[in-house]
Amino acid sequence: MKVSLEWLREFIDVLVPAEELAEILTRGGIEIGGIEQLNQGLEAILVGEIESMEHHPNADKLWICQVNLGSQNVQIVTGAQNLLLKDKIPVATHGTTLPTGQKIRKSKLRGVESNGMLCSTDELLLDSSLGDPRSEDGIMILPPEALIGKSLAELIQGDTILDLDLYPNRPDCLAMNNVAREVSSLTREKVHLNRWAETEQGPDYPADLQTKIVIEEPELCHRYAALLVEEVKIEPSPEWMQKRLIAAGVRPISNIVDITNYCMLEMGQPLHAFDRDKVTGAVHVRRAAQGEKLMTLDNVERTLDPEMLLIADDEKALGLAGVMGGLDSEITEATTRILVESAHFDSVSIRRTSRRLGLRSEASNRFEKGINVAGIAATLGRVGDLILKLGAGKPVGFVDENKVVSETRTVVLTVAKTGSLLGMNFTLEEVADVLERLQFPYERQGEGFLVTIPSYRSDIQIEEDMIEEVARLTGYDRIPTTLPQGSTTQGRRTPEQEFRRKLRHLLANLGLNEVITYSFNRPNADELWGHSDQSISIMNPLREELSVMRTTLIPGLLEVASRNVARRNLDVCIFEIGNVFWTTEQHLTKLPEEKLRLAGLLHGKPSRHWLKSVSEYNFYTVKGIIEELAQEFGLKLKYQVPQGTELLHPGRSAEIYLQGKKVGFMGELHPMRGKDSALEHALVFEIELAPLFAASDRSIRATSIPRYPAIQRDLAVVVSKDVSARDVMARIHGLGGALLDNVDIFDVYTGKPIAEGHKSLAFTMRYQSLERTLTDEEVTTLNKQILEGIEKEFGAESRK
């Protein structure tokens, strides 16, 4: 927002220099991006008029111009192509130094003498919006009323511009009236605003019975008002208005358009004027049809969609709501009746339209940040006054379609909480003084105040917002600097964090790569692998297919693996640690339950050294990973054959149990599932981590290295095929006692000479004592006890 000090002084007596005012505003939370002096360095630049133009005899693109400077005529050669006879332009003569630092000298261009230079806005360091629209193509074209021979500094008065860098929470300061209020609250100077800035009432013109407003989308347009003006005379606006618009960075066009822009800058309410005779029937506020076309004022045909809001009549679109008007309803010199629009549009809708079309304007900028809906009608009153003042027409009717119930916002402000949050003591009188400076109505309530918030301060909603106002106006520098208080503790990871960290390191060392997938799943995939009856639907999904919160991690891993395999990265070994989300409610009334899980997927051939002996990943690869995990955290896991699964291979899968409770599953994808997803022979596992953490043994035990040798014996037995090798191994451990250090199975065999229905199991048993050397007799006796025990329990026979 560019603020002209000359304009600001109309509303408040600014007694301090511009630099000091900028410092005051910045300390008060309104940051100033820069200070600009409009006529700095323009004193030696003169206003000239082109008397004649001739083509240069030796250059097709050069012109020889005779320029009248009042007291003299000078010849200047220029390459500008935007000039016409009788144009008034800025001239730098011999010896003049431009604001850029360039010094002008007499010269010859292709043999023709040139005694100066015609200047563009860039060379004068002026805003490109200054001058006639033709100025954008080259030399700056001055207004026809500019006096020949006068200094350009007199034409462009010595105004000072403050460039306000506003944050999104202060859209009110996009209006000169509210900037004046802000300066008043910071400097204690009284404001003297026009009558329309102090009221929410509309103008008292008769109701416009000719104009019917139809708001078809009340959630996108909350209020729409219009002013009917007849006997319109289109002509240039007066010099004082043009200068103020130029200072604010707005290019003057005509009196009617300039009045709407002037009121927007002054009141903060965007406006647009339609040629009333080009509007057929009622004015509709509606969504655009898919593929609907609109030629906007910048002569570009726009293709629209139903997400965009339009202003239209009974037959055609008139303009993009809140962004830009249409060319078909543009005001021209032939216009005699106009309809001035003042409305409140949904900020999100305007932002989306502006971004999709790549079209931004002063109006859209204000609508995106939010405007004061209570000031819509009053702004049209200000428009009517200016139209009468400039003799631009006669306001004859007013219409207001309001879909908003105006509510008065109040906030309770207590002295105790103000002091507590800001860390300093305040009295009731000090807080009341702040409210007086803000000009906020209030009532005393005990040790605090009930404050009525003006409609233009949309940023104030709660008590903390008002406390920020107290801090701003009393001075942030008054808030004391204090050191943090309280007992200090050494930062460290929680046991759960340490558990997850060790788990990640373990899996990474085993050759798995960690991935992170979305917390959302496809409904069909989540139903297949998880629990769809407990899943949570998302109201605004990132993608239409990812519309439920995940109850399992497997679909995310399958998608990652499929993407890799599709790109010929066939060897995939990945894991993820993440939350899944559960609910027992059909409609959420409380936060869902979150459960932390570990899931993994293996596909293809191992690439790490510890598995190079394996040609491809298989069920035992996954089981080995799970066993490594169990050994790392001191867990005793058991495995059972799953019942009735259609997702995993019936002979290559298992359910994982801990302390009698199922905590996960593992196995190869069912042949039909793997074939459908191009992940044939892929293996997956998923485990609940909370039970693992609760049962993990996190203590560290140290044992000395055995000093005495170990004795190893092998045992081969024949048992029925129904007997589990794990059960036999567990029984061997029990029978071996303290001297049996370890048991490993190294062979499972079926076939001749083993009888049908039986299998051979071969074990290696390692005996060792930490206190003495074992004898052969002791080990032989233990071996015999073990064999007798498993013969009795499992019907085993020693294999000779």
Give the CATH number of the domain where residue 141 resides: 2.40.50.140
Q: How confident is the model at residue 597 (pLDDT cuts 50, 70, 90)?
A: very high
Helix, strand and coil in the chain, % to nearest 5 = 30, 30, 40
Does residue 514 have a known ligand-binding role? no
pLDDT of residue 691: 93
Least reliable range by pLDDT among 314-318, 540-544, 555-559, 738-742: 540-544
Looking at the fold, whether 659 and 724 belong to one and the same domain comes out as no
pLDDT of residue 622: 92
What is the tens place of the pLDDT at every residue in 145-163?
889 998 888 877 667 888 8
pLDDT of residue 583: 84
Q: How confident is the model at residue 384 (pLDDT cuts 50, 70, 90)?
A: very high
Does residue 433 have a known ligand-binding role? no
**Alpha carbon 146 to chain centroid, angstroms:** 48
List the beta bridge partners of residue 296.
Answer: 326
More confident residue, 246 or 323: 323
Question: 463-495: b or e for each residue (b if 16 or more CB lie within 10 Å)?
Answer: beebbbbbbbbbeeeeeeeeeeeeeeeeeeeee
Average pLDDT in the 36-60 region?
87
Handedness of CA 245, 249, 253, 256 (dihedral sign): negative
Cα separation of 618 and 682, whole Å? 8
Looking at the fold, whether 365 and 332 belong to one and the same domain comes out as yes
Average pLDDT in the 213-219 region?
92
Looking at the fold, whether 521 and 638 belong to one and the same domain comes out as yes
Burial of 142 (0-12, 13-18, 19+ CB in 10 A): buried
Cα separation of 638 and 88, whole Å? 95
- From the list 110, 149, 152, the residue with the least C-alpha distance to 131 is 152
Phi, psi of 168 (to 5 degrees): -60, -20
Phi, psi of 73 (to 5 degrees): -110, 135
pLDDT of residue 216: 92
Q: DSSP readout, 663-718?
A: EEEEEEEPHHHHHHTT-TT-EEEEEEHHHHHHH--------PPP-S--EEEEEEEE
Cα separation of 244 and 270, whole Å? 17
- Answer with the one of 477, 510, 530 that is the final residue of a domain: 477
Looking at the fold, whether 217 and 285 belong to one and the same domain comes out as yes
- Answer with the one of 384, 402, 420 that is the final residue of a domain: 402
* Tokens linked to 436: 């007086």
- From the list 405, 413, 393, the residue with the least C-alpha distance to 339 is 393
Phi, psi of 294 (to 5 degrees): -150, 125
What CATH number is given to the structural domain containing 465? 3.30.56.10
Looking at the fold, whether 52 and 120 belong to one and the same domain comes out as yes
pLDDT at 591 over 90: no
On whether residue 326 sits in a domain, the answer given is yes
Handedness of CA 39, 41, 46, 50 (dihedral sign): negative
pLDDT at 74 over 70: yes
Neighbours of 148 (CB within 10 A): 14
- From the list 624, 742, 631, the residue with the least C-alpha distance to 683 is 624
What CATH number is given to the structural domain containing 217? 3.50.40.10
- From the list 364, 113, 334, the residue with the least C-alpha distance to 232 is 334
On whether residue 428 sits in a domain, the answer given is yes
- Answer with the one of 420, 444, 477 that is the final residue of a domain: 477
pLDDT of residue 152: 86
- From the list 675, 619, 621, the residue with the least C-alpha distance to 650 is 619
Least reliable range by pLDDT among 110-124, 158-172, 466-480: 158-172
Burial of 570 (0-12, 13-18, 19+ CB in 10 A): exposed
pLDDT at 547 over 90: no
Q: How far apart are the first and last CA of the chain?
A: 98
pLDDT at 191 over 60: yes
How much of the chain, in percent, has pLDDT values that exceed 90? 48
Average pLDDT in the 252-267 region?
92
Looking at the fold, whether 326 and 378 belong to one and the same domain comes out as yes
| Angle, alpha carbons 778-779-785 (nearest 5°) | 95
Within 8 A by CB and 6+ apart from 509, the residues are none
pLDDT at 648 over 80: yes
Average pLDDT in the 203-230 region?
90
* Tokens linked to 763: 């074990």
Q: How confident is the model at residue 184 (pLDDT cuts 50, 70, 90)?
A: very high
Cα separation of 316 and 199, whole Å? 35
On whether residue 272 sits in a domain, the answer given is yes
Looking at the fold, whether 434 and 365 belong to one and the same domain comes out as no
Cα separation of 250 and 128, whole Å? 10
Q: How many CA atoms lie within 13 A of 623 on its CB side?
A: 14
Average pLDDT in the 717-723 region?
91
Cα separation of 143 and 152, whole Å? 12
How much of the chain, in percent, has pLDDT values that exceed 70? 98
On whether residue 305 sits in a domain, the answer given is yes
Cβ atoms of 713 and 703 within 8 Å: the answer is: no
Range(s) of the domain holding residue 428: 409-477
Pairing assessment for the beta strands 513-514 and 572-582 based on DSSP bridges: parallel
Residue with tokens 């002979």: 651
Handedness of CA 13, 19, 20, 25 (dihedral sign): positive
Nearest-10 crossing angle of helices 428-438, 463-474? 90
On whether residue 39 sits in a domain, the answer given is no
Cα separation of 551 and 527, whole Å? 9
List the beta bridge partners of residue 514.
Answer: 575
pLDDT at 224 over 80: yes
Looking at the fold, whether 149 and 171 belong to one and the same domain comes out as no
Looking at the fold, whether 422 and 281 belong to one and the same domain comes out as no
Cis bond upstream, residue 706 (ω within 30): no
Helices (H) and strands (E) in the chain, counts: 20, 38
Tell me, letter by letter, the H, E, C secondary structure of 551-566.
CCCHHHHHHHHHHHHH
pLDDT of residue 157: 65
On whether residue 704 sits in a domain, the answer given is no
More confident residue, 249 or 287: 287
Q: How confident is the model at residue 513 (pLDDT cuts 50, 70, 90)?
A: very high
Within 8 A by CB and 6+ apart from 562, the residues are 677, 678, 679
Q: How confident is the model at residue 226 (pLDDT cuts 50, 70, 90)?
A: very high
pLDDT of residue 517: 93
Looking at every residue in the chain, the average pLDDT score rounds to: 88
Pairing assessment for the beta strands 309-312 and 116-118 based on DSSP bridges: unpaired
Query: Count of domains in the chain?
Result: 6
Looking at the fold, whether 691 and 769 belong to one and the same domain comes out as no
pLDDT at 537 over 90: no
Within 8 A by CB and 6+ apart from 183, the residues are 8, 12, 14, 21, 24, 25, 189
pLDDT of residue 446: 87
Cβ atoms of 639 and 622 within 8 Å: the answer is: no
On whether residue 18 sits in a domain, the answer given is yes
pLDDT at 611 over 60: no
Look at residue 429 and give its three-state secondary structure: helix
Looking at the fold, whether 24 and 57 belong to one and the same domain comes out as no
pLDDT of residue 687: 95
- From the list 118, 60, 44, the residue with the least C-alpha distance to 87 is 118
On whether residue 80 sits in a domain, the answer given is yes
What is the tens place of the pLDDT at every residue in 480-511?
888 877 787 788 888 899 999 999 999 999 99
Looking at the fold, whether 313 and 222 belong to one and the same domain comes out as yes
Does residue 468 have a known ligand-binding role? yes
DSSP 191: B
**Alpha carbon 316 to chain centroid, angstroms:** 35
Q: How confident is the model at residue 168 (pLDDT cuts 50, 70, 90)?
A: confident
What is the tens place of the pLDDT at every residue in 356-366?
888 888 888 98
Average pLDDT in the 368-382 region?
91
What is the tens place of the pLDDT at every residue in 314-353?
989 999 998 998 898 889 889 999 999 999 999 999 999 9
Neighbours of 78 (CB within 10 A): 23
pLDDT of residue 674: 64
Does residue 469 have a known ligand-binding role? yes
pLDDT of residue 613: 54
Q: What is the pTM of this model?
A: 0.61
Within 8 A by CB and 6+ apart from 331, the residues are 234, 254, 256, 257, 273, 274, 275, 338
pLDDT of residue 614: 62
